Structure formats: structure tokens, C-alpha cells
Chains A and B, each alone.
Chain A
């Protein structure tokens, strides 16, 4: 009797689990949820989960819920590959998300391309393969982007500098950061600036003062850093400890808002493609309430990237209809316009050839008096 009951229960489970999975849009994510670089990705993934929960609570998309399956790759390429394979073959995900270091891109791209499943880079830096002419299956919502960020930053420096610019650079010893800083160094020469030093700092480092000493002794009046936040801010703090008081500009990662308030440094500028929460837009309040309600351990101010990815996924699934398969989803993503409701300077717009966005918008913030203030409003750049 017991044996028959158990067999019956197993049979019911076997029938119901796939049925419930097929009754929802399955979206799989491989991300650096743990490990050293997870501070950049985990808050965004948390925000994405909150957004999906909110969509599901409101009835889902096309009357169907979204099932978000998270897999931790710890920023390890081999784990990312295994996760992607599992998400595609076992979970039957119609869309794969990557929220991890660039070292995981190659295996994830290989797996998704082999299976013909669209891949969205959400909170991980946009690879050039999403720029026009884009790879057919790759898309990106992330705010920061190679080359364009440095162009916007150096334009800002040129506009703000009162005299000749002697510029120093700081990067983390990872391929993406080094490549971008090399690009910025060359661009600075073309723009009439004088590069004086470039520090490529291995992660993690016990004491940044040794690197800052060399940078300071080169005599820059501006320093630009495009690297994970820890390198950007610790280089700045080390320079300040050494008595260097000139202008420092960095990319505005998730931590930028709380860090500007912590440092209270009027000569520290962050270039950002997301509006900071101190702007207090209705969408910011919405995110803050969702984070508070869910008891998230991450500050709402770090959640814009994940929220924007959620908006894009919702819009893409809506366009794909039900039932969705990877081909329908790809077609939907190739013709997508997402209103970011002020989180960015404009909409995210994808076309057949451009899976990044048609226009990029940058704002620059600093600490002024007793609050964070804008020093440059949205400035747009065409993506060609």
C-alpha cells in the first residue's frame, strides 16, 4: 500500500513539474552571485528578481508568469558554461541572461549560439558584439559600455578643464578595464591632452598607496579610472592620503551614490548613464518601495541596472506572445523600445542591427556643499 502511494506521488510530481514549467516563460540567469566580483552583480540580480516578482504578482506577461532561474557561476567560465547548458537543455529557458565577469562571455555565447537561444547581458558590461552590426543572438541593457564611456568622460574633462590637461589613468588588471584605459589613453592624445601615467592595479591589493605614489609623482591634474568600483575608489582615496588634491573622474557603478555621500569630495566626479536616486523620480520611489517590501539586503540605489533589465525582459516577452520560443523572442527583441521612465536619459531601443541602443546618455555628478549635485545634464551620443 505504502509502495503504491509513493509511486503515485512520484508519478504526480513527474507530471506536474514539467507542466508548471511549461506554463510559464522560463528565463535563466548565470551570474557572479558569490565571489569577489559579486558586489557589482548581486544587487542587480536581486533587483531583477524583485521586478519579475512584481510582474508576476500583477498577472504576468500575456497572462503567463515568468519563471526566473538563477545559477551562480562565481565568475568562473567553466561554471558559467555548465549553468548555461543546464538552463537551456534541462530547464528549457527561452532566454539566457549573463550577469558576470567578461571572462565568462565566451563559453556562455558558445552554448547559447549552439542552441539558438537569445542571450541578454544584464548588469555585465556590454560586449562590442551587441554594437552595430550586432551578433544576431546577443543583446545588452547594461549602462556602461566600452569606448563610449571614455569618449563621454574625456569630453567632460575637456569641457571642464581650465588649462592644459595632464591626465593619469587607473585600471584594474583585467582585460576589459585595461583595454578601455588603453583606448582612453590614445583618445586623450587625439584630444590634445597629455597622458602622464597609467597604473594597472592587480585585484585585490592590500595597499593602494604604492600605486598612487607613482601616479601622483607623474604630476597629473586629472585622473580617470574605468574599472570595478574598488579600484576606482581606493586609488582616489590613496591619492588623497598622499595630499593630491586635483580632479578625479570615474565611472558611476552601482555604489556611486552612497560613495559620493561617504567621500564628500567636490573634486571627485562620476560619469553615469543611470539617474541617481537622489533625483527622486517616481520610478525611484517604486524601486525603493519594492526593495523595502522584499527586505532586500541591498540598497535601492544599487538596483537600477537590474530593474532596467527586468523592463526589457517584460517588453521582449510581451512582443513574443505565448507560447514563446527562442526564435519568436529573438524577433521580438530585434524590434524593441523600452521606456526607462527616467532611469536613463532615453529609451533602450534595439533594431535588427543594433542590440545595444541607438543613443547613449551620460550625466556627471559630484558632491557639492551638503548633497550630490549634477555638474552635467544628459548628454547624448549616437551609436553607429
Chain B
């Protein structure tokens, strides 16, 4: 039972991060290599908000979530918008530079020490015992539920929402979408906002569970194979990819060697590249574009 819980929690972490990669790639064909840093920034925003809203943890958390959403939009408006029409590689390199900048800012503002947002907010992290002697902490449980809610909301939004449809249209054919009157900059800004939000949610919930340090972005790198395994342009694929990667990782840690946990996501990725390079639910056409 505990192994199952471990797989679900780890898969939720990877899925929540991976959907951020997918959202931006699907809409703008850009791989956001600063996604891990933006995720970490969201976690640090909780610390900032905890001092602004001392004694009001719910308000602090809501403020951090809203600020993450705004951060994504600002990144697009002040940085990525300038890359529109440029080579995709230039945009990707810009995200690398953004990541370095965010890491530097975090060290300057919050230092390099381990920080505990839950302590700053004055909230605890009790553990629940589930049937079968499985254990899960409060914030891990919230993370699993948030992941389900985020995916549900994103599926609904992309399928039925007016802006969701615009996002899909812009992703499929930006020129035609623009000619039909869709505000491409608005769509891209929204994609960056939502992507940063999902990453930040993962960062915030991991930080509430076990703290945050400047090394958090490396975790996002392990979630990247999950997105590729599922198919970089498929939101559902990211969820399945995360489950496969997390399942392999947890089981190999338990039954083979803990040291494998670092390489498992990439082993799964290499295996997928041999069998189906465009991912489980990705489209072959998209791979050609990459």
C-alpha cells in the first residue's frame, strides 16, 4: 500500500510540473527551460507572502498563487514577447538565461539556506494513516488532489473555454488564428501564466511538505522526461508519462537500488525514444516540427 501511495505522490509532483512544459510547448513550440526556477520562485513567494500576511496563512497562500500567475504573464510580456517571430532556439536560450537570473535573485533575496514556508505560515503537516497501513502527509495529499483538480480544470478549459479554444487554435496554426482575429500575444501570455501557476503549485506544495532550497529546479528536470514520454503536445500524455516514470522510479528504489532513482526517468525516456519517439500520446507531426 505504501509503495502505491509513494507512486501516486511522486507521479502527482511530476505531472503538475510536466503540464507546465506541455502548455507552453503546445501553444508556442517553446521548451521553457526556466520552468524549474519559476516553480521554485513560486515556493519562495509563499515565504514573502507569509511575512506580508502574518497570521493569515490562507491569504498568504492565495496571494502567492495569484503572484505566480502574474509572474508568468510578466515573463511573457517583458521577455518572451520579444522573441515572437525569432528562431525557436533563441526563445529556448532566453528561458535558460531567465532560469539563471531567477536562481541568482532567489539566493540574493532569501539566501541559500533551507527554508520552511509551513513554519513561516504557522501551519503543521500531520500524517494520515490509510487502510493497509499506508501513510500520507497532509500536504502530499493536498498535492495529489491539486494535481487532479488542475488537470480537470485544464481539460475543461481547453475543451470548452473560449480562451482554451483560442489556445488550441494558436497552437495548431498561429497564422490562421491571427487572421481569424485571435489575439496571439494574449493567448501566449495566458499560456505562460497557467504554466507558471501549475509549476508554482507543485513548488509551493512540495515546500509546504518538506521545505525549499535553491536546488529545487533540478526536480523539474526529472519531470521533463514525463512530459516527453507522454508526448510533449499532450496534456493527458503528461499525466500518464508521470505515472510511468514515477512508478518505475519508486519500484526500482525499493526492489533494486536507490541510486537508480536519478537515472530512471531518463532510462524510461530513452526506451520511449527507441519505441515511439513522439511519445505515447504525442503526434508524429509535432516531432517533425521540433
Measured in the bound complex, the distance between the Cα atoms of B3 and A188 in whole Å is 29
Once bound together, how far apart are the Cα atoms of A230 and B137, in whole Å? 18
Interface of B is mostly: helix
Q: Is the CB of B111 within 8 A of A242?
A: no
Verify A229–B114 contact, CB threshold 8 A. yes
A241 contacts the other chain (CB 8 A): yes
Our count of residue pairs bridging A and B at CB distance below 8 angstroms stands at 107
Stretch at the interface among A198-206, A340-348, A368-376: A198-206
The interface-forming segment of B81-89, B162-170, B228-236, B255-263 is B255-263
A243 touching B262 in the complex, CB below 8 Å, given contacts A230-B213, A302-B113? no
Known: A42-B112, A255-B113. A243 touches B6 (CB 8 A): no
8 Å CB contact of B253 from A36, A210, A255, A298: A210
Q: A interface, how many residues as a size bin?
A: 35 or more
CA gap between A149 and B135 in the complex, in Å: 33
Chain B contact residue count (CB 8 A cutoff): 41
Given contacts A34-B107, A207-B9, A210-B254, contact A39 B259 (CB under 8 A): no
Is B10 a contact of A207 with CB atoms below 8 Å? yes
Is the beta-carbon distance between A213 and B6 smaller than 8 angstroms?
A: yes
- Chain B proximity of A319: nearest CB distance (Å): 34
- Whether the Cβ atoms of A204 and B6 lie closer than 8 Å is no
Expressed in whole angstroms, the Cα–Cα distance for A377 and B107 within the complex equals: 36
A173 part of interface (Cβ distance < 8 Å): yes
Is there an interface contact between A204 and B104, defined as CB atoms closer than 8 Å?
no
B183 within 8 A of A: no
Task: Find out whether the CB atom of B127 lies under 8 angstroms from the CB atom of A210.
Answer: no
A36 touching B127 in the complex, CB below 8 Å, given contacts A206-B219, A241-B135, A302-B113? no
Q: Which residue of A lies closest to B3 (CB)?
A: A213
Residues of A within 8 A of B259 (CB): 173, 200, 202
Asked if A38 contacts B261 (CB within 8 A), the reply is no
Interface mask (A321-341 → B, CB under 8 Å = 1, otherwise 0): 000000000000000000000
Kindly identify, within residues 236 to 274 of chain A, every residue whose CB is under 8 Å from any CB belonging to chain B. Answer: 237-238, 240-243, 255, 262
| Partner among A208, A243, A255 whose Cβ is within 8 Å of the Cβ of B114 | A255
Distance (whole angstroms) from the CB of B146 to the closest CB of chain A: 15
Chain A residue at minimal CB-CB distance from B261? A202
Apart from A34-B112, A42-B111, A298-B113, what are 11 other A-B pairs with CB-CB below 8 Å? A34-B104, A36-B213, A36-B218, A39-B114, A204-B218, A204-B219, A206-B219, A207-B6, A230-B213, A241-B135, A262-B116
Name the 4 nearest CB pairs between A and B, nearest first. A36-B215, A38-B112, A202-B262, A204-B215
A selection of 19 A-B contacts at a CB cut-off of 8 Å is A34-B107, A34-B214, A38-B112, A39-B113, A42-B112, A173-B262, A201-B261, A206-B13, A209-B5, A209-B140, A211-B253, A213-B3, A230-B213, A234-B211, A241-B135, A255-B114, A262-B116, A298-B111, A298-B113
